[in-house]
A and B are shown apart, each in its own frame.
Chain A
Amino acid sequence: MNTTLLGRDSDSGTLDIGVLGIGNIGMVHLKSALAMANVDVLAVADAAPENRNRAERAGVSRTYEDYATLLESEELDAAVVALPPFLHADAVEVAAANDVDVFVEKPLARSTAEADRLLEAADAAGIAVGVDHTLRYQPDMKGVKTDYDDGTVGHVPYASITRLNDGPLGRPPARDAPPEWALDPDAAGGGSLLELGIHCFDVLRWLFGDLEVECAAIDGTLDLPVEDAATVLLRAPETETIISLHCGSYQWEELPEVNTQLRLEGIAGTISNEDHLPENFYASAAKSALTNVATRATGDEPDVFGPTFYLRAHYDALADFLESVRAGSSPPVDGEDGRRTLELTEEAYERATRTDDEELESSEVTL
C-alpha cells in the first residue's frame, strides 16, 4: 500500500489520481472519478491526441502522451490502468516504481505469467492492485447474489451464464476502424474468452467459490486471428454446482439492453438476473434522472451514471477500490482475483485445444 502518500492525503481525505488510457472504458473511469467527492484527477495519459482533447474538454488540466511520463511526473495516490492489455504489466511496474496504487481494467494481464510479473512488482513496492471486474457490481447480478445467499432456491446443482456482444468489428453500418490490438492475439492475449469470459469467471467465483474447468470449446464465426465464441463447462466444488458458460463477441449489440443471462437452477426454483433488470430501461432511466434532480433540493449526493444502469457499475467498482485505498485495506477485487480468472481462462484454452488423444490419455490417468 502507498502508505507515504496515503498518509499525506489522509488529512484531507482527498485522493489524487491519474487515468492511463482514455479510450472508451478509460473515459468512463475518468468521468466517474471526476464526479467523485474527495477525488482529484490530476492528469491523464493517452497516445491518441483526440482522446487527450476529450479529456481536456471533460475538465482535466494536464494530459500526457506517455503514461510512464505521467507516473514519473505527477504525485499520485492511485492510477487507473485502462490501456490495452499488452501494456498493463509495464504500466503497473512503472506505477510500482513510483509508489502508486493501481486499478487495472480487466483482463489484469494477457497471461498468468505476465500477471505474476505484475503482481511481484506490486508486492515488492507495496502498492495495491485492484481489478475492474465490473459484472459483480451490476444491480441484476447483485440481485442474483442476494437471492442465492438468502437461500431462496436451496441447493443449486446447475447454473448457466451467457454474455454476448458485438466485439471489435461492431455492426452495420460500418463506421469506425476496429482497434488493431483487439484482433491481435499477441496484443490482446486472446479473444472473447479473455475479453468476456473472464467477467463470467469472476462473477461465478463470487457466487459459488473457486471453479474447476471440466471441458471447453472455442470457435470463430469469421476467419479472425482470435476466437469470437467460447463455451466452458465448469464445476464449483464448494457448492457442488455444474455451470455452463458461453461468451461471444459475434452478436450485434442493441444498447441499452446487453445480452447477459445468468440463471441458477435450484431445488426450490430458479434465480435469473432478468428478474432484476428494469422492465423498461427508458422508464427506469427517467425515474433515476428525476431522483437525481430531486437531490438538488434534498442536498443528497446524486447517483452518478444512475440512468445508464451499466455504467453505474463501473463507477461503483472504482469507488470501492478508492475507498479501500483510503482505508488502507485490500481492494475488494484484488490482483489475486484477477490472476485466478486468467488462470481459468488459460485452463479453458488448454482444454479447448487438447487433442482427442490427449483427452483419452488424461481420462486414463484419471481412471
Chain B
Amino acid sequence: MDRRVCVAAADESGGWTPDVRERTAAFARPVEAVLEATADSIVADDDGVTIVPDAHYPFHPSTGVVTDPAVVGAICRFLTDRTGTDLSVAVAGSEHVDVDRTAAFLGYPELVDRFDAALFDPADEPRTTVVRDVGGRSVSTSIPTRLLDERVIVVPTLRPTRTGQFAGVTRTLSRFDDRSDGSPEATIAAADAIEPALAVLDATTAYGDDPHATNAVFAGPAASVDAVGASLLGRSIDEDPVLKPTLETEPPVEIERIGSGAVDVESIRDRLSGGRLPATGDAHPAVTAAYRLYAAVGRDAVPPQLEGGR
C-alpha cells in the first residue's frame, strides 16, 4: 500500500487574505499539486465525493483552529475541473453550535454555491449501523449512509485537541458517529467504517500555542496523514490511544515535496512542537478554593467566574 504523503505550499507571504476567493486562488496550485499525485482513483471515477473539513465550531480560519474553507474551495475547484462528479461538503457542527449556523458563519453556503456543490447536514441523513472490530472489541457505529456510499476526502486542520492530541483525520470523522461514547475504540471504529478515500491536511494556517501560516497542504492515505500531523505537532504516536493501534503495524511514512513552493517540514515541526490550544480560562480549582477562603475571611464577594462550578 502506498504510504506516501505529498506536500506542497503556496508561494504566499504576508498576512491573512480575508477574501476567500483570493485565498482559494492562492491555494489552487499546491492543492492541485498534491491531488495530482494522490487522487488518481477519485479523478478516475464519477461517483459522488463528500469533503469533510474540520468545522467543529465557528472559529476564525486565520487561527488554524478550523479548516480554511478556501482549501475546501481549492479541492472543489480541482475536482470540478477534472471530473463531473457530484460534490458535497459535510459539516459536523457540535453540541454548542448547530450545523446550519456553523456552516453559515464559516461561509460554506456561498462556497458550495460557487462550485455547484451541496452542503449536507448529518442530522438530516439516513444512517447505517456499522460494526467494527477494534482491538478485539466489537464496536457498533451509526454513520450517515452517504459517508459510507460516497468517496470521502477528509480535510483536517493541523491543530491539537483540547486534551492535547492531534485533532486529525480519525477524530474529525468520528464526529459523524451518533453512537460514539468518545472512547478511543469508538473513534477508531467510526473512521474505519467511513474509510476515507483520501486525507488532505490543511496546514496553510496551523495552530500550536498560536497560529502559524505555513501555507502548506499535505495529502495521502488517512493513517499516514494522521502520522504526519502528530509528528508535526511533536506528539508521540505511542502515547495517542487513537493513533497507536492504527499505526503501530504500519511502515514508516515517506513525505514527498512537490510543486514550486518551499516547504520546510522540520521548521514547521520546530515551530509547532508541543503547542496546545489556549487555556480554558477557568481558574485552577486551587485558585477558586483560595479565593473563596479569602472572600470568607475578607468579607468579600466571590465573582461568578470563581464559583468553581458550584
A-B complex is real:
yes
Listed in ascending order, the chain A residues whose CB lies under 8 Å from chain B are 24, 27-28, 31-32, 34-35, 54, 57, 169, 171-178, 183, 221-224, 250, 252-253, 255, 289, 292-293, 295-296, 302-308, 311
Given known contacts A172-B59, A174-B96, A222-B106, is B300 in contact with A296 (CB within 8 Å)? no
Say yes or no: A304 contacts B105, CB within 8 Å: no
Say yes or no: B60 contacts A223, CB within 8 Å: no
CB distance from A340 to the nearest CB of B (A): 30
B101, B104, B298, B302 — most chain A CB neighbours (10 Å): B298
Q: Please report the C-alpha to C-alpha distance between residue A178 and residue B110 in the assembled complex, in whole angstroms.
A: 23
Q: Please report the C-alpha to C-alpha distance between residue A216 and residue B107 in the assembled complex, in whole angstroms.
A: 25
Q: Please report the C-alpha to C-alpha distance between residue A295 and residue B277 in the assembled complex, in whole angstroms.
A: 41
Does residue B303 face the partner (Cβ distance < 8 Å to A)? yes
Kindly report which residue of chain A lies nearest to residue B210, judged by CB atoms: A252
CB distance from A8 to the nearest CB of B (A): 27
Does residue B280 face the partner (Cβ distance < 8 Å to A)? yes
Kindly report which residue of chain B lies nearest to residue A34, judged by CB atoms: B301
Given known contacts A28-B304, A223-B106, is B278 in contact with A295 (CB within 8 Å)? no
B58 contact from A24, A35, A169, Cβ within 8 A: A169
Given known contacts A223-B105, A224-B105, is B300 in contact with A176 (CB within 8 Å)? no
Does residue B162 face the partner (Cβ distance < 8 Å to A)? yes
Does residue B26 face the partner (Cβ distance < 8 Å to A)? no
CB distance from A28 to the nearest CB of B (A): 6
Q: Please report the C-alpha to C-alpha distance between residue A292 and residue B298 in the assembled complex, in whole angstroms.
A: 5
A224 contacts across to B, CB distance below 8 A: 105
Q: Please report the C-alpha to C-alpha distance between residue A24 and residue B300 in the assembled complex, in whole angstroms.
A: 18
CB distance from A37 to the nearest CB of B (A): 11
A302 contacts across to B, CB distance below 8 A: 298-300
Interface string of B102-123 (1 = CB under 8 A from A): 0011110010000000000000
Q: 4 closest A-B pairs (Cβ-Cβ)?
A: A292-B298, A174-B57, A173-B162, A27-B304
A222 contact from B56, B60, B110, B278, Cβ within 8 A: B60
Q: Which of B143-176 contact A (CB under 8 A)?
A: 161-162
A54 contact from B97, B107, B298, B307, Cβ within 8 A: B307
Say yes or no: A35 contacts B301, CB within 8 Å: yes
Say yes or no: A177 contacts B97, CB within 8 Å: yes
Listed in ascending order, the chain B residues whose CB lies under 8 Å from chain A are 18, 56-60, 63, 65, 94-97, 101, 104-107, 110, 161-162, 207, 277-278, 280-281, 291, 294, 297-305, 307, 310
Kindly report which residue of chain B lies nearest to residue A31, judged by CB atoms: B301
Kindly report which residue of chain A lies nearest to residue B16, judged by CB atoms: A221
B310 contacts across to A, CB distance below 8 A: 54, 57
Say yes or no: A178 contacts B96, CB within 8 Å: yes
CB distance from A62 to the nearest CB of B (A): 20
Given known contacts A173-B162, A250-B60, is B300 in contact with A223 (CB within 8 Å)? no
CB distance from B54 to the nearest CB of A (A): 12
A311 contacts across to B, CB distance below 8 A: 303
Q: Please report the C-alpha to C-alpha distance between residue A178 and residue B96 in the assembled complex, in whole angstroms.
A: 7
A295 contact from B101, B298, B301, B303, Cβ within 8 A: B298
Q: Please report the C-alpha to C-alpha distance between residue A200 and residue B110 in the assembled complex, in whole angstroms.
A: 34
Q: Please report the C-alpha to C-alpha distance between residue A172 and residue B60 in the assembled complex, in whole angstroms.
A: 10
Say yes or no: B301 contacts A289, CB within 8 Å: no
Kindly report which residue of chain B lies nearest to residue A177, judged by CB atoms: B96
B96, B106, B291 — most chain A CB neighbours (10 Å): B96
7 contacts between A and B (CB under 8 A): A223-B104, A223-B105, A223-B107, A292-B299, A295-B299, A296-B298, A302-B299
Say yes or no: A293 contacts B294, CB within 8 Å: yes
Q: Please report the C-alpha to C-alpha distance between residue A75 and residue B19 in the assembled complex, in whole angstroms.
A: 56
CB distance from A48 to the nearest CB of B (A): 14
Say yes or no: A175 contacts B304, CB within 8 Å: no
CB distance from B205 to the nearest CB of A (A): 13
Given known contacts A28-B304, A178-B96, A222-B106, is B278 in contact with A171 (CB within 8 Å)? yes
CB distance from B261 to the nearest CB of A (A): 26
B300 contact from A28, A250, A252, A304, Cβ within 8 A: A304
Q: Please report the C-alpha to C-alpha distance between residue A304 and residue B294 in the assembled complex, in whole angstroms.
A: 12
Kindly report which residue of chain A lies nearest to residue B304, judged by CB atoms: A27
A307 contacts across to B, CB distance below 8 A: 291, 294, 300
Q: Please report the C-alpha to C-alpha distance between residue A104 and residue B298 in the assembled complex, in whole angstroms.
A: 29
CB distance from B252 to the nearest CB of A (A): 31
